[in-house]
A and B are shown apart, each in its own frame.
Chain A
Amino acid sequence: MIETALRDLGYGFGVALEPHNLWFCFVGVFVGNVVGVLPGMGVLATMSILLPLTFGMHPVAAILMLAGVFYGSQYGGAICSILLNLPCHPPHAVTCLDGFPMTKQGRGGVALGVTVLASFLGASFGITEMIFLAPLLVEVALKFGPAEVCSLMLLGLLAGSTLARGSPLKGVAMTLLGLTFSIVGADIETGAPRFTFGMQELFDGVEIVALALGLFGIAEFMKSVNQTAPIDLKYAKIKLRDLRPSKADLKEAALPAVRGTLIGSMCSLIPGTGPTIASFVAYATEKKISKNPESFGKGNIAGVVCPEAATHSSVQGDFIPTMSLGIPGDAVMALILGALIIQGIVPGPQLISEHPDIFWGLIASFWIGNIMLVILNVPMIGIWVKLLSIPYKYLYPSALFFVCIGVYSANNDLFQVGETVVIGVFGYLLLLLGFHPAPVLLGYVLGSRFEENFRRAMLISRGDIFTFVEPQHWISAIFIALCALLILGQIYVRFRPKSRIREAEKAVAGLPGSGFKAAEE
């Protein structure tokens, strides 16, 4: 098995090293790194802006680029957290707790240096995990009938909406809203128009670009305008020389990095628990097992390394359910799936065998991209720090223009720009009401496939709803049982709210500029 995996991986490197794929991978990680550094720019907004540009591209290049933005931004986000104490990207919020004190002690360079190393370790582990785990999952998943697929999706949706941050109930509500969005347009089986309100333009359904840019672009800008704290660059003077950690630092950081990696990879296996949760869990664990927990929050190197390694390993691990089962764990993955669907590629267990170039090329590009990021981050640290000083007031109007032209260019249709504005205003209202819009995208991307499989399962069982829990569909029954467990667990948690992760979250909420936290948490 290892042999085939290695051969496939070799093939993947062949795909990823093709010059134009290599170029788009570079563009992706570069853009990702830039937006990661820029305070107030979300990963989701950036990916949505780039999405229309990928329509004309080869699917492999498109996915490599979008994925590159995602993991590239994780590297950039750490810079922002450590040097400026700005938790502008949710997974890196905990990094502030110890990263910024290190900066104040003049060890910010060391913190960054170790972070880059730890991130690379975490990412490499996540990639290895994907190489071996994804094909195994696929083998099981290929035997699934409509009933199994349907209950698996139900589990994915439920996990994605309840395990993310914020109230689980509201998460479920948002997922349902997303499913409703996916209904708009012609019915898949009868062709009858649904929810179009007589508007011709809505017959093809709500465009994913319009939805994503409305929710994560326009709504985000409305939230952040005039809310940004002035940036203090006092401590942010770093030279290349400062980056090199001493032997003692490395020794101190090695074990926490490994622990963080393991925690991150475990979190990535549970759908719905993305990098943000992984980093919080990692920090809490590290503090718990540390010999001197009181040094946390005062610049303990372990408090920087462990969550960072966890973030990166879970970022890569997140791709496993997405690419092998077609079930995205969070909104970012939902966007990547959306990009695949637009390219006419059906996500699901058949993806690896039908499009090996995408799957293995993506994996190989992870490694190449991560190496690029290490190269980008170490010598060019000065440039990234300069980028930090671009004020938000220049950023968002420019981004708004990219939103408009991006949506327009998807179909050369101004109606969709209007659609985006309406969804954006609606999305901001939801934010004001305390709803996190990320699950909407999850529901939207899975919606039509969920409906299709549900109907098929009903057809096969002649309308018997209990087909999902019958003995011959025992796999499906397990998924349903897991769903029930998840709901019960949430009810249990609700009546017992104190936990270590919450404490860490509280500490982060007290940081200045936490109003920056993007919607993708």
Chain B
Amino acid sequence: MMLLGLGTIVEGSTYRLGNLRQMGPGYFPVMLGVAMTIVGVLIAISAMQPSTDPEHDEDAIPDAPEWRGWICIVAGPVLFIVLGAYFGLLPATFACVFVSALGDRTMTLKQATLLASGITISGVIIFVYLLGVAFPILRWPS
């Protein structure tokens, strides 16, 4: 229920953004903002009634917070961006796959290294040589 209240806050903040714009280009966003607020309030109301929504599926919510998996999965692409911007595709790919692979609890360091190397080699061949993506394979920050 509290989670759903949070959803309303997300809705509400979008509303304020919508209201900041005036007439002309802003008309449509404001309309949306109003509609969103109404829906947000409705969700909050239905969340307050305890018995409703028996089929509410909590599929997505794991039993315990999966911090390791979450952090690794987000860190992978972030490393890809940072290393990609300064050192090129090769280290970026390796780091991205290696780090995100560690998010799985059964993954060993050896497996992760093997996987990351494999993906790096095939990825560079496919994307740079076959598809011609403009991404320097290696570079040094100047």
**A residues whose Cβ falls under 8 Å from a Cβ of B:** 53, 165-167, 169-170, 172-173, 176-177, 179-180, 183, 187, 189-190, 192, 194-195, 218, 221-223, 225-227, 392-394, 396-398, 400-405, 408-409, 412, 414, 417-418, 420-421, 424-425, 428, 430-435, 451, 454-455, 494, 497, 502, 505, 509, 514-515, 517
Contacts and interface: CB of A to CB of B under 8 A. Distances in A.
B14 A414 contact: no
A434 B4 CA distance: 8
B32 A397 contact: no
A226 B7 contact: no
A394 to B, nearest CB: 6
Given A190-B24, A400-B73, A408 B32 contact: no
Interface string B17-28: 110010011111
Given A180-B32, A225-B104, A401 B97 contact: yes
A405 B123 contact: yes
Interface of B: 3-4, 6-7, 11, 14, 17-18, 21, 24-29, 32, 35-36, 39-40, 42-43, 46, 52-62, 66, 68-70, 72-74, 76-78, 80-81, 84-85, 89, 92-93, 96-98, 100-101, 103-107, 111-112, 115-116, 119, 123, 127, 131, 133-135
Contacts of A517: 59
B135 A190 contact: no
Q: Is the contact region of chain A dominated by helix, strand, or loop, or is it mixed?
A: helix
A226 B28 contact: no
7 contacts: A166-B57, A169-B46, A226-B68, A226-B103, A396-B73, A405-B93, A432-B3
Nearest to B39: A173
B105 A226 contact: yes
Given A397-B115, A435-B7, A421 B78 contact: yes
A176 B24 contact: no
B105 to A, nearest CB: 6
A169 B40 CA distance: 9
Given A397-B76, A454-B28, A432 B60 contact: yes
A218 B66 contact: no
Nearest to B98: A397
Contact of A509 (B29, B57, B89, B131): B57
A187 B77 CA distance: 31
B57 A225 contact: no
A400 B76 contact: yes
List the 10 closest pairs (A to B, CB-CB), nearest first.
A225-B69, A187-B25, A393-B104, A431-B60, A397-B101, A409-B133, A404-B80, A397-B100, A192-B25, A397-B97
Given A397-B103, A412-B134, A421-B74, 14 more contacts: A177-B36, A180-B29, A194-B26, A218-B73, A393-B111, A396-B100, A404-B84, A404-B96, A409-B131, A409-B135, A421-B77, A433-B7, A434-B60, A514-B59
B81 A414 contact: yes
B60 A194 contact: no
A497 B96 contact: no
A412 B135 contact: yes
Nearest to B62: A227
